[in-house]
Amino acid sequence: MSSPDDLPISPDSVTWTTSDGYVLHGRRWKPTQPPRGYIVAVHGIQSHSGWYGYSSSRLALAGYEVRFPDRRGSGENRKDRGHVLHWERWLNDLSQILENVRYDRDRTAPTAPVVLMGVSWGGKLALATAGRRPDLVDALALLYPGLFARVRPTLVQAGLLRLARQLGLNRKTVPVPLDDPAMFTDQPQWREFIRNDPLALHEVTTGFLFANADLQEQAIQLAPQITSPLLLMLAGRDRIVDNEATGRFFESLPIPAKTRVDFPQARHTLEFEPDREEFVRRLVDWLEQVDRASRTE
């Protein structure tokens, strides 16, 4: 299903071959001039790069190149649907893409910052990657990051998951508990888009959930090692993310350059809000601050 957006800049379809031979599909939005910055984006658990066409296109229009891979087993990536062997596999995939971006940046626009942007679930992967590989990230943006979830397994489900891990059952499929589009947005056209999206991920394996739990732990542990500028954006009426816990964690991080932006009336996905132009404008404002700081160092 195509997005209802009419985009000022259309994406290119791109692929990346990872270190274990897996071919990742994704999208790239390129500005018409040499980039003033490079953004590598990471999507949510159910979504894929196709959900974020409006903001990515607007960022390209503002001069930023956006590279948006679909996570392995998600979006256009059909192999091992909803599965991963280990949390470090995700981190290795993302680190390799960041290395490729920095190589291209150094050849074309060496002063341009490389910004890692984690959206929803992608926030925890972005946070862990920035903490583990700070040499690859000049700035980090977390958009309604899925570090602390309001949607949690019941005690019975958590017990069954622990038992499955003890028994080595990593291929059992489990529904993603986000099948109500109203959790993402109030807007009817975007609810319809989500409901009918053939690329949305509705099931993951127990192996994915094991890796997800480990990634959560690693992201929390690695976050204090981040020194690059950090942006946090939160949706005030979010039914998926625990904003209070996320805000406390954000305030606890010993990062000198922290910026928080709240959208009190928004649901989870800022991309699907009526005032999403304001969300993009605030994001571009922050990117311009990062750009100016990088050029004076």
Render pLDDT for 273-282 as a digit per residue (tens, 0 to 9).
998 999 999 9
Among the listed residues 293, 261, 290, 279, the one whose alpha carbon sits nearest the alpha carbon of residue 54: 279
* Other beta carbons within 10 Å of 10: 12
CA dist., res. 276 & res. 272, Å (int): 7
Q: 3-state SS string over 170-197?
A: CCCEEECCCCCHHHCCCCHHHHHHHHCC
CA dist., res. 32 & res. 272, Å (int): 26
Tell me the torsion sign for CA atoms 267, 271, 275, 280: positive
Render pLDDT for 248-268 as a digit per residue (tens, 0 to 9).
999 999 998 999 999 999 999
Q: What is the DSSP letter of 147?
A: T
Give me 127's structure tokens.
């946070």
3-state secondary structure of 24: strand
Q: What angle do CA 286, 233, 284 make, to 5 degrees?
A: 25
pLDDT over 80 at 5, yes or no: no
pLDDT of residue 133: 97
Amino acid at 267: R
CA dist., res. 241 & res. 148, Å (int): 6
**What pairs with residue 259 in β-bridges?**
231
Q: Report the range of poorest mean pLDDT among 8-12, 48-52, 184-188.
A: 8-12
237: left (phi over 0), alpha (psi -120 to 50) or beta: alpha
Give me 116's structure tokens.
């890692």
pLDDT over 60 at 24, yes or no: yes
